[in-house]
Amino acid sequence: MSHSFRVFPKHNVLYEQDSEYSIQLNRWFLKPIGAWPDDANQPVSLAKKLLSRCIQFICHSLIAFTVVPCALYIMFEPDVHLKLKAFGPMIHWLMGGMNYCSLLLRSYEIRKCVDHMRADWRLVKGTHDREVMLRNAKFGRFVSTFCVIFMQGGVCSYSIITSFTPAIVRIDNITIAMHQLPCPFYTELVDARYSPTNEIVLGLQLLSTFIVNTVTVGACSLAAVFAMHACGQLNILMLRLDELVDVSSAKDEYESTRRKLAAIVEHHLRALR
């Protein structure tokens, strides 16, 4: 069954709604940690810039507050078993800090990708093409939701359960009960075994846990949404190629076929950028 090549001169009038649907979760994940890039087409007030910088400084400080004492603990702890046990949590926080720096350094490239997605949504022509794009955007949102449930649900629940499990320690012939910390803390820097220091350090580490998990979730969700958007564009390109074959087999005019082929090549190049 052959069908004619569809030509829709009008742009997608719902492109703002559709683009917001595709990137909404990414903004929710990255904006609270100051990693969502500013819109280049809209002026940003000085207050918003200062707020974003303050959030970034707080996030960096909380990550460093967890990583540095743990690194010192590993360096000076004589027990090899305890060293190895502390190595895993420290790597988790360290990688989270590196990913956070990477997101901030690549904010311009992320903004360009988001703007490119908005332009693609605006150029969508026809209901069928829009449905293809929405189907891929929905899957991207599903992957993002799975990431946040897996990371925040798994790591945060582990940290909370660990912190509410009391640890019995003996200091100078005195036995005390303390909250276990998700990440070991070097006691020569600050003795986190006594209250209220123990509770304060625990609270700061839990905040740090939320931050590094959100960074990982944000990075994975960006990759998922961008990849699924590219898949949607390539699916539309395949539809155009199928239609071109059907039209060519019907002995369409040479110039018309050539024009449509040029549009397909341009669409392909845009999808690969």
- DSSP letters, 36-95, are SPPPTTS---HHHHHHHHHHHHHHHHHHHHHHHHHHHHHHH---HHHHHHHHHHHHHHHH
| Spans in the chain with pLDDT lower than 70 | 1-13, 40, 242-273
Instruction: Give the pLDDT score at 105.
Output: 95
Question: 26 near 144, Cβ under 8 Å?
Answer: yes
Instruction: Give the pLDDT score at 60.
Output: 96
What's the rounded Cα separation, in Å, for the pair 129 and 221?
A: 23
| Total-model pTM | 0.82
Instruction: Give the pLDDT score at 28.
Output: 94
Q: What would the pLDDT profile of 64-117 be if each residue is shown by its tens digit?
A: 999 999 999 999 988 899 899 999 899 999 999 999 999 999 999 999 999 988
